[in-house]
Structures are given as structure tokens and as C-alpha cells.
Structure 1
Amino acid sequence: MIHNPNNIRTAGKPLDQATKVMIMVHGRGGSARDILSLSNHIQDKDFAFIAPEAQNNTWYPYSFLRPMEENEPYLSSALEVMASLRARLQADYNFKLPQIYWLGFSQGACLMLEFLARNATEYGGVFGLSGGLIGPAETPRAYEGSFGNTPIFLGCSDHDSHVPKERVLESESVFRKLGAKVTTKLYPNFPHSINEDELNVVNLLIAGDQPPLAII
């Protein structure tokens, strides 16, 4: 296995005391420590946060828009880390799937969204920041399962240097078809980063509030 599923960091409440857990997935060149710093912006204090770290800080070598086989065997190993982490939270800490939340940025958002599309079920919430489903434009999206009204937020620049807005909107469509309640926001001429509005939307969705649906 390329990526070590035991290479993880945690923050927030201890896993055995929390009523909710958020899996946070870092981007290319990032780290578990980096992405966990976002936990300081989550207003709900009942969360444990857990973040896996990629081998050499990269989940797969090439763009997420390249043919999937070009990113193997790294991509399959990274997807296995997602599956292993979810299984551990269920088996060792007795989290039910609706108590599990996911947040990823950039390459981490792409990896997380692809894993969840392949494993659609009801989660607490899914927050994909500057990412989209993996593969070239002609990739068949024959995913199965249902998100059962899981709130999903996709936030990205409308001119992102790595993530075309068309892929964000395609991902939105796929998740809607799988039963998710999707909020998408494209931010005009914003750099490839996370902004305050995105974090506000995340907090609103965690609280069960409905953020404005308009793409801005």
C-alpha cells in the first residue's frame, strides 16, 4: 500500500467522546496538520476531527482530469485510505454514518468526492472546496446508492487554475442524481484557496440551516 492509513492526526474532541466526526483531506503538497487548522473555524464543538496524510504529501501524481489509470496505483491506494478510515470510525468508535462529515480541499476534495460518489450513503455533511469528481470529461458516472438528502457543499472559484467550473457543475449534477441536497457556489475570479464565505456555508449546513442557494 502506497499511502499509510495509520498516518493520521486528530484535533477537537477525543474520538471516544465526540458525537460527530469530520474527516478532513488535505490537498497536493499539504499535510494533515494544515487541513486540521480549519477545525478552528468550525463553530460546533461536538466534533472530533481526523485527517489522514498522503505519502510525500500527494495523493496521486497527475491532474485529477487525466485518465484515471495514469494516477494508478496511487489513486486506488488513496481511495483505500478513505475506506479504511471510515471503517475504523464505525468499528472502533461506533460512529454511525450520519455522524460522519467530510471536508476536503483541492486534490483532497477531488479524492474525497470520488470516494463518496462510489460509496453513496447518508452522511452528516460533505464539503468539497475547490474540487470535483476525478477523471477526464468523458468519464462515465455510473455511480450507485443514495445520499438520502445528505447536505453537500461545493465551493470553487469560477476561474480556478486547477479545477474547471464545468467539472464542479458536473459533480453537482451527479450528486443531485444520487439524492444529495447540493449547494454550489462559484466565486468570481477568486484564487485557488478557501474563503470566509465557504466556511460560513459549512457552519450553516452543520447547524442544519439553509445557506443562500444562488451562485455568486
Structure 2
Amino acid sequence: MHKKNVHNAGQSLDEAKKVLIMVHGRGANVRGILGLAAHLNVSEYALLAPEATNNTWYPYSFMAKPEQNEPWLSSALDLLKEVVDDVTKQGISAENIYFLGFSQGACLTLEFVARHAQKWGGVVALTGGLIGNKLYKQNYSGDFAETPFFIGTGDPDPHVPLERVRESVRILEELNAQVHLEVYEGRPHTISQDEIEQSNHMVFTE
């Protein structure tokens, strides 16, 4: 199970009006994902980056049967909920809470917000989709109230099939999300400069 190990950067929670929760990918750590913040319009945000125990949120592919990824998947989702609860206890409302995840972290981010659909500040998912061997629509409910999403993905991507990304977008839109999907032909499994720029334009608007 994941230990709660959350790294802070940017503004202090006491002073910030907005918070960005950053979720790293498989085999990575918080340093890499926090390093992205230097390229984003988030200088006024408090940055919170939970670190996965053993640097992996769940052991198998995000398209494995969910029970194969337990108890790690549920533990990871619970950890994100705990981080959000810590922020709201500081008096920061959900509509001032933003999320960014890459790869496995993007999958976890999308799964979490779809299970807790409400008016968030915005969501950036860089190469990710909703989790499961199929999409379990009964897990998703609420109303995003036109929360802006930016989702970027390569085609083909070795870990995240484009069709799953498109299916995920459809579900998010059914929950009233305002989703912009950008597909990059032949892009390797990485984060591109265009994704950074689009994220700033769509989600981290100054």
C-alpha cells in the first residue's frame, strides 16, 4: 500500500489561491514531474506531488483487469483523495484545484477525477486514459461543469492505445467536461513542447 509522501513546491498552501496536484509516471519520482512546473503558468500555485511507493502506482498495465492492480490501485486513488481533502481543509475550493499527470500518472489522474466529477480548476493528462480491461462506466458520476481538460497522446503509443484515449474522452464529455484532445502522429512516449504550450493555453490560463 502507498505511504503518504507528498512533496511541496511553489507557493505555500497558506498563501496560494490555486493548487496543482502533479502525478508522476511509472518508475519515475516527484522530481521529474515537479520540474515541469517551470514551463507552466503556475508560478502563483501551490504544487503538491505525491510519490508512489516503489515509484509505481499499480503493478500492471492500466488496461489489465482492475483486480489485478489491487490493492495498489485503490490505495493510489485513496491517496489522491487524501491530498485533495488536505487542500480543501485549507479553505481552497475544488474549482481552484488543478491536476496534471503523465503516463501512469495521467491514467490515475483521469480515473480519480472521473470518479469525483465536479467543477475542478482544470486537468492535464499527458498520455493516459481511464483504467480497466474495459471501461466501467458505473464507477463514474457527477458533473464537471465544463472543467477544462487538455489530453495529449502519441499515435501509436507503446503503452496507451489511441482508441482507449478516445473512449475516455467520450466518458469525460458525458460528465460535462470541456475536453481538448491533441493526437501527435509518431510522437514517442514523452512530453512535447506543444503539449506544454497547449496546457498553458487551455488550462493554466493566466
1:135 Cα deviation after fit:
0.3
Quote the residue 2:20 is aligned against: 22
Quote the residue 1:4 is aligned against: 3
Secondary structure at 1:162 match in 2: coil
Structure 1 residue ranges without an equivalent (≥5): 210-216
State yes or no: 1:43 paired with 2:41: yes
Q: TM-score, normalised by structure 2?
A: 0.97
Q: What letter matches 1:35 in structure 2?
A: I
1:22 touches 1:103 (CA, 8 Å); kept in 2?
Answer: yes
CA distance in 1, matches of 2:190, 2:204: 24
Quote the residue 1:140 is aligned against: 136
Secondary structure at 1:64 match in 2: coil
State yes or no: 1:103 paired with 2:103: no
Quote the residue 2:121 is aligned against: 124
CA distance in 2, matches of 1:54, 1:74: 10
2:94 touches 2:120 (CA, 8 Å); kept in 1?
Answer: yes
2:41 touches 2:205 (CA, 8 Å); kept in 1?
Answer: no
1:208 Cα deviation after fit:
4.4
CA distance in 2, matches of 1:208, 1:27: 24
Please list the CA deviations of residues 107-148 of structure 1 after superposition, one character each: whole Å capped at 9, or x if unmatched: 0110111011110000000001010000013x3312210000
Secondary structure at 2:199 match in 1: helix
CA distance in 2, matches of 1:207, 1:162: 27
Q: What letter matches 2:199 in structure 1?
A: V
Quote the residue 2:54 is aligned against: 56
1:127 touches 1:152 (CA, 8 Å); kept in 2?
Answer: yes
Structure 2 residue ranges without an equivalent (≥5): none
Going from structure 1 to structure 2, the CA distance change for 1:208 and 1:42 (only over 3 Å counts) comes to closer
Going from structure 1 to structure 2, the CA distance change for 1:126 and 1:207 (only over 3 Å counts) comes to closer
1:166 Cα deviation after fit:
0.3
CA distance in 1, matches of 2:204, 2:148: 11
1:158 touches 1:186 (CA, 8 Å); kept in 2?
Answer: yes
1:151 touches 1:182 (CA, 8 Å); kept in 2?
Answer: yes
1:118 touches 1:144 (CA, 8 Å); kept in 2?
Answer: yes
Secondary structure at 2:137 match in 1: coil
